[in-house]
Structure 1
Amino acid sequence: MKHYTSGEELIAEIRKRAELFIAEFDDVPASGLHTLKDGVDRTPTQMIAYQLGWMDLLLGWERDERAGREVVTPAPGHRWNRLGGLHSSFYEQWRDASLLRLQEAFRERIDDVVTLVASLSQDELFKPGQRAWASSTPSAWPVAKWIHINTVAPFTSFRTKIRSWKRR
């Protein structure tokens, strides 16, 4: 994982990787949004839905903790070692959305994640143990790492997937 020295650096990387990822969909035809292609494990709609689902969870964990509610990670009824059902719920939620709606929702979530990062202090971002939800697994990562693995990392790897999908 990339090491960030500030929230501003994390925000810049989120915005950069998000825009590179979502711009790849500008030339995906509507007729192909639900098409699986050999060698690519998700459809274009599923690729964006995956990102939306994880950003929604991340934002929800923080919102619930701030409200004093118990946070269940990754989500109620789902376990870390069995995420297939959770991913399927993301795909189902966004199945009928147009590409434009998916892209709008993606950009809205990016703005929400950026707002979250900007609202946190250096300690809250980079020191372990600052949030119960971030300490909910044995790794007890700092919040910044959770944000990175739910934004920058998949935006980068899924950009490769959508580019591969477009070449097939």
Structure 2
Amino acid sequence: MSSVPQSKDELLSAINSIFPKLMADYQVVPESWSRVCEVEGNVKGTQISVCDTVAYLVGWGKLVLKWHSLKSRGLPVDFPETGYKWNQLGLLAVSFQEQYSNWKYKDLLNELDSTISELIGLVLSLSNDELYERTWYEKWTLGRMIQFNTSSPMKNIRAKVRRFNKNNGLQ
């Protein structure tokens, strides 16, 4: 299998292989450490909290679900999100952090779990053709858009969370 999923089965496999590992790494972090800003941020030179990484994944996951919902009903979609352009993804990430800033860590993890379950459900409900055989947004397939916002950032974030855990003796 290539590192980039090329089919429905590979996409499901990519999500299902990284997500439980990421959740296990998150489970190691106690609530009292979840808002400590010692995780490398998406914007160079910034530090964010473990909660912020969860908010990032929830935010993007919910955006993908929103895009699909609107598009499948023939409604226009503001990509990546209303009020943001593709060159403002750092600002969009900050908006996700702000949106979930008052959530308890446990509730954020539950939200991530349900968002990923919903995304897996979406993938399962679509054919390989719908996911990978036709362009969905500009030159990208829907499968690729889902992967860009699930398994890819999960791998990146997992490395950062593991580094945070190791640096703080949380094993």
TM-score normalized with structure 2 length? 0.87
Contact 1:52 1:109 in 2 (8 A): yes
Counterpart residue number, 2:102:
96
How many residue pairs get aligned? The number is: 161
Give the drift of 1:2: 2.6
Higher strand share: 2
Give the drift of 1:127: 2.1
Distance 1:94 1:38 in 2: 17
Runs of 4+ aligned residues of structure 1 deviating over 4 Å after TM superposition are: none
Distance 1:39 1:57 in 2: 23
Give the drift of 1:5: 5.0
CA RMSD, 1 decimal: 1.7
2:141 aligned partner, one-letter code:
P
Give ranges in structure 2 of 5+ residues lacking alignment. 42-46
Distance 1:3 1:76 in 2: 28
Q: Which is worse superposed, 67-76 or 10-19?
A: 10-19
SS of the counterpart of 1:72?
Answer: coil
TM-score normalized with structure 1 length? 0.88
**Could you say if the C-alpha distance between residues 82 and 96 of structure 1 is closer, same or farther in structure 2, counting changes exceeding 3 Å?**
same
Counterpart residue number, 2:156:
157
Does residue 13 of structure 2 align to residue 7 of structure 1?
no
Aligned ranges for residues 1-168 of structure 1 at < 5 Å?
A: 2-37=3-38, 41-129=47-135, 131=136, 134-135=137-138, 140-168=139-167
Contact 2:39 2:49 in 1 (8 A): no
